[in-house]
Each structure stands twice: as C-alpha cells, then as structure tokens.
Structure 1
C-alpha cells in the first residue's frame, strides 16, 4: 500500500451520492473535489468536515509505520476508521414520476364523481449534502436517481394525489378544461411539494404535470363530455354569427359612406346643391302627376316649381309656359314677346301691368335684364345670359 492515496469522484451524473471505495486511508492522502460537488469526510463514524471544489490533504490517525503496531490488538485492522462520501450537486432533470392509483374527486361543473391519474417529470438538486447523507443515505454506498425516487415514492404519491384533488376543487377546474390548466397545476404542485423535499436536503427545481389520465370509456364520463362539447360548440357558433353580423354591418356602413362621398363629389363637379337636386325630384313628380293634363293641376304645379329656384325654376317654367299662355292670352296667336313675368316671384303678369298682382313688386320696363339687356321670356331669379339676379 502506498503512503499517500488519491481520493476523487468516480461516479456518473445520474448519481446523487457516491462513497469512495477506499477506506482507512493514510494521513496525507489527497482529496480532489470537482466543481458542482461536495465531499464529506467521516472519521470514526462522525461526519467531520465538508469540502467544496479543490484539492485537500487529509490528516488522519493512520500512519503506516506506527499503524502496524497499533493494529496488533485488533487483528491488523486499524481502530481509526475513515471514509469519504461525494455528493453530486448538479440539477438532475427529467426524473419521471406518476401516481400509482387514480385520484377520486367530484367534478366541479357537473357534480359527478370520477377518478383520474397524473404523471410527468421533475428536476432535483442536492441543497444540503450533510442533511441528505445523514437522513437518507446512512451507510449505503450510493444513491442514484431511481433510489431517490424510491425513497420519496410513498410520500410523493400521497401528497400528489391529495394536492391534485385540492387544487381542482379550490380552483373549480373542470375535467374537460384541465389540459389548458397544466401550467397552473404544475406551479401549485411544485410550491406545495417543495417543503417536503427540503426536509431531506433536496431542492425541487422543477415539477411538471405532463399528462392527466382521464376515465375515457366510462359511460357517465362520456355522457357529460358529449354534453360539454355540444354546449361549447353552440356558444362558439353564436359568437361566430355575432362577429359575422358585426362585419356585415360595418361593411354596409362603409358602403353607405362611400356612396354618400361619391354623390357629394358628383354634385360638386356638376355645380348644384342638395336643395337643387331635391327641386329636380319635385319637378319630376309634378310632371308625372295624372292631373297635369288639366289646367288647374298645371297651375298648382307651376306654383310649386316657381319656388324651386335657380336652374330648377328655369327648367320647369318652360314645361308649363305654353299651357299658361294659352289660358291667359286673348287668342291662340298671341306672341311670346307680349308675355311678361314678375322678376321677384315669377308670377305671370297681366299685360300692361306696372306692378305684380301677386307680390306687389314693380315691373321693369320691357322686362329686360338691367345688366346686359337680355329680354326675359320665362320666369326666374337670375338672368340666363349674364347670371345677374333679376330685379336689381
């Protein structure tokens, strides 16, 4: 046996605790601890020192030359027992877990009893090496992932099933919506289970619920599942119809706005207003009147159209001019040049009158435009030649 020995970790990353096979090594032996590891030195059954990453010289009571004499009473076995345990502190992921039986609870939405299972994976890391070694490992030579899961399996199954039922009840999570709540489920279980692992020096880094085993095939569950999805489909269809109606309404509104803008642009281009356009409509209705063939209706139509103004009055006045002339002229051969109209109200004037017998306005001589001299032959408010307002 060499005087000094090298004590270092020779396990793998799936191991949490590994005991070095060399025991009762000599004083002056070298201890090498890697990063993400810790080493605990035991002397005569007691955990004396905890070493972090680095290289250390171990001081023991085992001195080879003297030890031979000291070992005679014990049959060659040293009375000074020493050993080293290495603890892997890396975060070990994808450690599988699963419930060993179904969780029984009452579905909160439809109030029927059912049973479900759950499984997933978790990530663990050693938080307190001394606590883990003393409470779980004891005199074992190693602690692997499978071994750790076996240690925790009893309380893990009990806690997980209890917490699942409590979370689903307190949050009123429907069995038909549980898949959308897996993240919330995982976070709450991690929070509740963290304290249980911490008591043994283990830190629960991550806890994921990846699958909820539903009671597919059970008649009661299938009946309520069909009811739920039918109700969901009806609500979804109603929302779609509502959205379609809103879109159609918005489309019709935009169409009306575009049409109104087009009409306004047309009026602007052609040079008439909304009131004038309404006047054209009135004139058209009067012209289509069944009584327009008799003289009384023609007189009423003329009175209505005289107030339309501008281009409408001029256009409509010509339609009825001949009919009125035939009513008031002394004979059918009377010339249009003898016919005069009031510049103010457009009423047909009595031949030779100096004032309008309708509005009382004075009649200008020869009924001509005072600006350009154009002789008016129809009623109106503006001169059709120069555009000046009549009567000024």
Structure 2
C-alpha cells in the first residue's frame, strides 16, 4: 500500500464525520484541515491528538500523544499507522421534524382532550467533536445528517410531547390559540431540549415549531369550538342573561312543536300529556257517569324580552320557564283584557311563583 504524503477531506453535503480511507502515514506527511473542520488522530480505538483549521506537518511536536503510543522516530520518513477522522462543525439549519401520530393534549381552558399534530425544523452544530465521536460514531467510517435524524427522532418526539404539554398547561394556552404562541413555545422547547443534545456533543442552534393543529375532521375540534362560543356568549351577556335567553329559546321551540308546548326540563309535549288526560277522563266518565264543567279557554301571554315582544306563551309554558329561571317574573307581560304592560310578578296566577312552589315535570 502506498505511503500517504497528504491527508485532507473536502467536505461533502450532508456529511458530519468522515474517516480518512488509509491509515498508512509517513513521518512528515502534510495534514490539511479546512475551516469548520476538526481532525482527530486515533490509535487502538483511543483518540489522541486534535487539529483545527490549518496545514500541519506531522512531527513529534504536533502529535505528542500519538508519538508516545507508537514511539515515532525523531527524523526520517518512517511510516506509521493511525486513523484520521474529520468532523464537520458547520451549522445545519434545515432538519425537519414532525409527529408521526397525534399527541393527546387536554385543553387547559375548556378541559377537552384533543389530538394535535405538530411539525417544524431545527438546526445544530457539533460543539464537542470528541464526545460526539465517542458516543455516536464509534468505528463507523461515515456519519451523516440522515443517520443523526434517525438516532434522535424517538428522543425528540418523546421529549416534545412532554415539553409542549407542560408549556400549554403552565401558560394556560387554549389549543385554539396556539398559532399566536408558536414563537414562545418554540423558544421554550429549544431551551428544554438543549441539555439532552449536549450529552452527545451537539448544540441546538435553532428550533422552530411551524404548526400545531387539530385534524379538521376530528369531532373534538367541533366540541372545542362550541365550548369557546359558549364561553364568549357568557362573557358578553352575563350568566343570568344567558340563562334567561336559553329559557326563551326553549319556549320558542316548544311553541313550534307539532304536538304543542313542551315541558322544558322533561322534554315532554304538553299536547301529548293533555291527550293522555283526555283518554283517562273519558274512561272515568264512562264508569261514574260524571260530567265535568267545560274547560276554560286558554289564555295567551306576551312578554317583553330585550325590548322586543315575544310570544304568545301558555300559562304552563310561563310556569315551566319560571321554574327554570325565577328572574323571568321581572319581565313586562300582557294578556287579553289588560290596558297596559305590567311586570309578570303582579299577575295573580304567577304571584310568588318559584321553583319550590311547583313540583318537577312528571317523568315519562
């Protein structure tokens, strides 16, 4: 095998570590180390001497540790054997990462568990080449970016799941508001990941989260949006006004029901209940030959809600609404025969009406 007179490596795209293909060197050989490279001499699996950028002639004063191991002569051109490794210390900023499966996170604001996907990019550089070779490279003649990504994919995703969840919970960030906090979450993740990479001689110089999102077809996304809308309505209208609004929404739906008005809490059609009562009454009259008095005509009531006239409502609908929300008695009301609007609380049929004065709806 020919004796080597010059040792160098011209950097290739994606390569992090390159082992020089020959270990047969000559005393006086030239070693060329390019910028952003570090060269190591190793013998018997042990790293000896280290060189940064520059051109060196291999002599005793340049490789003192290697000289002690193999007893190099002080002159002449005697050959010797040693492994030479080149490590690239350039920054790499375009490595991609992404979650292969969704991360389950609980929204700290609305307490709904949602699956989220995240992806981004990161950058690194080798800041301790000897530690990097010892812990990751070993005796491999070549080590590139793809191998590094493979090594760290599991560690990266496992740590990110905990780190992202910790940041979201600590800052109480709703999943729906994450896009406005990506920079802060990215910085937090970078600081948390640095110690894990430094154990391998690697320094994280960039970590960006490009997106954290919920799959659009996931049912939990709709639940989260509903919770947000409800929270916004409660904040704008107030809890009491919202409760009042809900009471009348239900009353309006009951009025439009084909079976008649509905009991608010039980969800039973009043018309159905009256129909059952009718059959029961017919049976009793057949047995006892008792003729009841005529049923009084139904009274229609109108209410003022948010300065608008609402109704008509039946007496039973008003009573059911009062059971759900006693504040309704403060609304202005009117029925046939009245000259003016008056508070509902002044109506004799609803006087002192509240939940305690009326039994709950009859179960189905």
TM-score range (shorter-chain normalised) is 0.5 to 0.7
Please give the alpha-carbon distance, in whole angstroms, between the structure 1 residues aligned to 2:52 and 2:203: 18
Summarize the Cα distance change of 1:25–1:171 in structure 2 as closer, same or farther, 3 Å threshold.
Answer: same
Contact in 2 for aligned 1:4/1:27 (Cα 8 Å) = no
How big is the shift at 1:101?
2.2
Q: Does 1:87 align with 2:96?
A: no
> Corresponding residue for 1:135?
135
Contact in 2 for aligned 1:126/1:203 (Cα 8 Å) = yes
How big is the shift at 1:18?
1.2
Decide which structure has the larger Cα Rg and report it: 1
Alignment of 1:230-309 (within 5 A): none
Please give the alpha-carbon distance, in whole angstroms, between the structure 1 residues aligned to 2:78 and 2:227: 86
TM-score (ref. length: structure 2):
0.57
Give CA deviations for 1:281-337 in whole Å, capped at 9, x if unaligned: xxxxxxxxxxxxxxxxxxxxxxxxxxxxxxxxxxxxxxxxxxxxxxxxxxxxxxxxx
How big is the shift at 1:232?
5.5
Helix, strand or coil for the counterpart of 1:11? coil
Structure 1: gaps spanning 5 or more residues: 68-79, 238-392
How big is the shift at 1:157?
1.3
Summarize the Cα distance change of 1:31–1:236 in structure 2 as closer, same or farther, 3 Å threshold.
Answer: farther
> Corresponding residue for 2:160?
160
> Corresponding residue for 2:117?
117
Please give the alpha-carbon distance, in whole angstroms, between the structure 1 residues aligned to 2:106 and 2:12: 45
> Corresponding residue for 2:245?
none
> Corresponding residue for 2:21?
21
Contact in 1 for aligned 2:4/2:24 (Cα 8 Å) = no
Alignment of 1:102-251 (within 5 A): 102-228=102-228
Helix, strand or coil for the counterpart of 2:157? helix
Give CA deviations for 1:121-154 in whole Å, capped at 9, x if unaligned: 0010000000001110001112211111111122
> Corresponding residue for 1:388?
none
How big is the shift at 1:19?
1.1
How big is the shift at 1:170?
1.0
TM-score (ref. length: structure 1):
0.53
RMSD (CA atoms): 2.7
Summarize the Cα distance change of 1:23–1:236 in structure 2 as closer, same or farther, 3 Å threshold.
Answer: farther
How big is the shift at 1:66?
6.8
Matched residue count:
226
Please give the alpha-carbon distance, in whole angstroms, between the structure 2 residues aligned to 1:222 and 1:184: 26
Please give the alpha-carbon distance, in whole angstroms, between the structure 2 residues aligned to 1:129 and 1:65: 30
Structure 2: gaps spanning 5 or more residues: 60-66, 238-364
Structure 1 stretches of 4+ moved >6 Å? 62-67, 233-237
Normalized per residue, the structure richer in strand is 2
Greater RCO (Cα-Cα under 8 Å, separation 6 or more): 2
